[in-house]
Amino acid sequence: MDQRSRHLRILIVKALEGGGRGHIGSSMSLVEILRVLFDSFLKYKPADSQWNERDRLIFSKGHGCLALYALLADKGFISEDELETFCKSDSRLGGHPERNKIPGVEATTGALGHGLPIGVGIALACKIQKKNYRVVVITGDGEINEGSVWEAAMSAAKHQLSNLTVMIDYNKLQSYGSTREVLDLEPLADKWSSFGFEVEEVDGHDIDALEQLTGRLPLNNTKPTAIICHTTKGKGISFAENKAEWHHKSGLKPEEIAEMYACLTT
């Protein structure tokens, strides 16, 4: 990881320190995906989060919101100091992101399987209104067990929503075991292709590869795009990587927080 990826993860740990709990593994796997979107792809204005021409990011994997909050703080939608209020009773930064409460959040998510249906509706409205903004939906791999995801995928293909991109955080672990054991998704690329999407696979921690791929969007002018991002759950926190028990932790101890900082600063 380079210094920027470490810094963004440190912001996540800052929020964890304030709240004492959170979806650690689920957030750490998302950092590079969100970093590239916010640094290189999305059009937005932090001072005007409802700017009409902005691109829409639908963060369907709502439980990974610590990564989203880190990027929103990094880009000036919220302050870095506000991260320390995470999950406190008087904070707007809850365990899932809420629209109309947090600038830069396009949809209230956390009930899994809702983000792609929302994104399809927004992308279709964009097409009908002849607008030029793009819609990106971020899902988890466990999330796409939900049938609503595939119903929405069929609709996206039917309407040829080339302005819609789905990015799957394929870290291969769910809350209580491996994705393969819970409900195997393979052959995942073939599934998305059969549902009418143009599909690419990428290392979800490779900044150059992600930038090159997003720079080519849309991959097909008559199809929506699915990008399967191969990631590591808990990336950057060595003792949490690829361990389902670090999907979420409550009652984090000061020494655990200190260990996380150490992983990112040494």
Q: What is the mean pLDDT of residues 147-156?
A: 98
For the sheet containing 225-230, what is the strand order? 56-59, 135-140, 164-170, 225-230, 198-203
- Eight-state DSSP code of residue 77: S
| Rounded (10°) angle between helices 147-158 and 115-128 | 20
Q: What is the reported pLDDT for 105?
A: 98
Residue 161 has pLDDT above 90, yes or no: yes
Please, are residues 61 and 10 in contact by the beta-carbon 8 Å criterion?
no
All residues at 6 or more sequence positions from 235 whose CB lies less than 8 Å from its CB, including other chains: 1, 28, 29, 31, 205, 241
For the chain, which residues make up each domain, given as ranges?
Answer: 3-265
Domain 3-265 falls under CATH 3.40.50.720: no
For 81-131, the pLDDT digits (tens) are 999 999 999 999 999 999 999 999 999 998 999 999 999 999 999 999 999
Q: What is the reported pLDDT for 84?
A: 97
Q: How far apart are CA 63 and CA 21, in angstroms?
A: 12
Q: What is the reported pLDDT for 90?
A: 95
pLDDT tier at 147, thresholds 50, 70, 90: very high
Q: How far apart are CA 201 and CA 226, in angstroms?
A: 8
Can you count the helices (H) and strands (E) in the chain? Answer: 10, 7
Q: What is the reported pLDDT for 110?
A: 86
Pairing verdict, β 173-174 and 177-178: antiparallel
User: How much of the chain exceeds pLDDT 70, in percent?
Assistant: 100
Q: What is the reported pLDDT for 223?
A: 98
Q: What is the reported pLDDT for 176?
A: 86
pLDDT tier at 205, thresholds 50, 70, 90: very high
Q: Which residues of 97-122 are buried (b: 16+ CB within 10 A; e: fewer)?
A: bbeeebbbbbbbbbebbbbbbbbbeb
Residue 264 has pLDDT above 90, yes or no: yes
Global pTM? 0.97
For 7-50, the pLDDT digits (tens) are 999 999 999 999 999 999 999 999 999 999 999 999 999 999 99
Q: How far apart are CA 255 and CA 12, in angstroms?
A: 16
